[in-house]
Amino acid sequence: MILRTSPPSPFGRMVKIAIEVQNMADQLTVQAADTNDPNDNLRQQNPLGKIPILLVGDDALYDTRVILDYLDEEYRAKHGNSVLFPGSGMDMFRLKTKLARVIGMLDAGILIVYEGRFRPENMRVESFVDYQRDKILRSMAEIKSENPTYTNGATPNAVEIALACALDHYDYRKQINWRDHLPMMEAWMTDFAKSVPGYHATLPEDIDPAPWR
């Protein structure tokens, strides 16, 4: 399997951690991708021009959720159980909905970054940024009401992997100070970081320090 991604991508990071957690790192090659380079063949692999992409034989799989589903299927076929999406029936679909929530929070965060990156300063639309940030805030309010604690040791599920990558991404790109909205997640991050394989190795190189990093 070849993963097309770039080191700062929180989505690519989710896939890398999922692969570590499933003990499949020996089957993976990471190949750098540059979404801004029109000559990068990632645009042939995914016409949307987005990363991550997982190349499996002749197939190019995207987006992140499809890739995580694929990895989960591989794991289930070999081990008969699941780490990323444990449970079945409605429980599993509830988990997948929570994953959609975190991925949506990240999509909103990325759009905030792009508003600053791609628009000339005098054309930036603050109401658009607020619209995106409100999605993150409403999701954080829901997560807070769930009172999360991290108890899965070295085997986080896909939602937990996504949440750790999202909070680190907000520290990296600084769209929002999540500590103001999810103060309990500092302890959560500490518990996650100390036991999940691949957490430290996949951090963006120049992210600010934090007690758990």
Binding positions for ligand GSH, rule: CB under 6 A: 9, 11, 35, 49-51, 63-64, 103, 107, 110
Q: What are phi and psi of 61, to 5 degrees?
A: -100, 135
- Minimum Å distance from CB 126 to ligand GSH? 21
Helix count and strand count (H, E) for the chain: 7, 4
- Minimum Å distance from CB 104 to ligand GSH? 8
Q: Which is nearer to ligand GSH, 107 or 191 (CB)?
A: 107
Question: What value does the CA radius of gyration of the chain take, rounded to a whole number of Å?
Answer: 17
- Minimum Å distance from CB 168 to ligand GSH? 13
Element (H, E) at 137: helix 126-145
Q: Which is nearer to ligand GSH, 79 or 119 (CB)?
A: 119
- The distance in angstroms from the start CA to the end CA of the chain is 28
Q: Which is nearer to ligand GSH, 50 or 192 (CB)?
A: 50
Element (H, E) at 59: strand 59-61
Q: Which of 10, 159, 22 is nearest to 87 (CA)?
A: 159
Q: Which is nearer to ligand GSH, 48 or 187 (CB)?
A: 48
The answer to whether 199 touches 192, Cβ cutoff 8 Å, is yes
Q: Which is nearer to ligand GSH, 63 or 74 (CB)?
A: 63
- Minimum Å distance from CB 184 to ligand GSH? 26
Q: Which of 213, 212, 133 is nearest to 180 (CA)?
A: 133
- Minimum Å distance from CB 149 to ligand GSH? 26
